[in-house]
Amino acid sequence: SQQGEEDPQALSIQEGENATMNCSYKTSINNLQWYRQNSGRGLVHLILIRSNEREKHSGRLRVTLDTSKKSSSLLITASRAADTASYFCATGAGSYQLTFGKGTKLSVIP
Amino acid sequence: EAGVAQSPRYKIIEKRQSVAFWCNPISGHATLYWYQQILGQGPKLLIQFQNNGVVDDSQLPKDRFSAERLKGVDSTLKIQPAKLEDSAVYLCASSLGTPNYEQYFGPGTRLTVT
């Protein structure tokens, strides 16, 4: 079963703009992770935020986590054409398993 | 360091045939996962190994799918007999196996069942 649900399903922006994707989930988690998938590099881990953290940064990525609302957001600043990919949130809860959502398809237009 | 290796990269078979996929995880990673990813969806966990023991196979269709991880390193996933709905990308991933660690994915095997 898929716990995380990304929103929007698809997003199209101009190069240089910021992209925001949201993820909602249903049950308690240990951590929430964001992954990127494109045809060239497969599924790649971007960032992990633990349940006791509220915000985390990595380069042009900023992730927030609100456990009271069971939601997370991924912000990509100053987007590039190379950011075109599908982005998945994955929730971790016990036994090191991850449950993935259906993803947001991001298109960055040069 | 070398990443997760998978083979073959592509496979086309007819329904009712059998197929096997191979995965070599990152050295030292105790936990190995097999996922099924159908086009347009996120990966769905099929089975998780901790060393050579099964941790979770609740979503593995055991009437046709089987997996093993001998000696706690390489793993194989087999489908027999295949159905049309098994057409998907099969991803192998590994991790250090402790909470709050990311998973490293292989390139996947794209299976087409005709």
Tell me the pLDDT tens digit for each residue of B61-78.
999 999 999 888 999 999
Residue B52 in this model has a pLDDT that exceeds 90: no
Chain B residue with minimum CA distance to A52 = B100
What pLDDT, on the 0 to 100 scale, is given for residue B101? 84
pLDDT value, residue A97: 78
Give the mean pLDDT of A59-73: 97
Whether the predicted pLDDT of B23 surpasses 90: yes
Average pLDDT across chain B, whole number:
94
Residues of A in contact with B54 (CB under 8 A): none
pLDDT, mean over chain A: 92
Instruction: Say what percent of chain B tops pLDDT 70.
Output: 96
DSSP code string of A16-32:
TS-EEEEEE-SS--SEE
Sign of the dihedral through C-alpha A26, A29, A33, A37: negative
What's the pLDDT at B70?
Answer: 83
Number of alpha carbons in the 13 Å side-chain half-sphere of residue B17: 12
Residue A2's pLDDT band (cuts 50, 70, 90): low
Q: Percent of chain B at pLDDT above 90?
A: 84
Closest CA to B46 of B113, B111, B1: B111
Chain A residues whose C-beta sits inside 8 Å of any chain B C-beta: 2, 4, 30-31, 33, 35, 42-45, 48, 50, 88, 90, 92, 95-103
Strand residue runs (E) in A16-110: 19-24, 31-38, 42-50, 55-58, 61-66, 71-76, 85-92, 98-100, 104-109
- Bridge partners of B13, per DSSP, are B113
Q: Report CB contact under 8 Å: A48, B100.
A: yes
The pLDDT of residue A40: 65
Is the confidence at residue A1, as pLDDT, over 60?
no
Please state whether B100 falls in left (phi above 0), alpha (psi between -120 and 50) or beta: left
Task: Note the pLDDT of residue B18.
Answer: 98
pLDDT band at B57 (very low <50, low <70, confident <90, very high): very high
CB contact under 8 A, A102 and B95: no
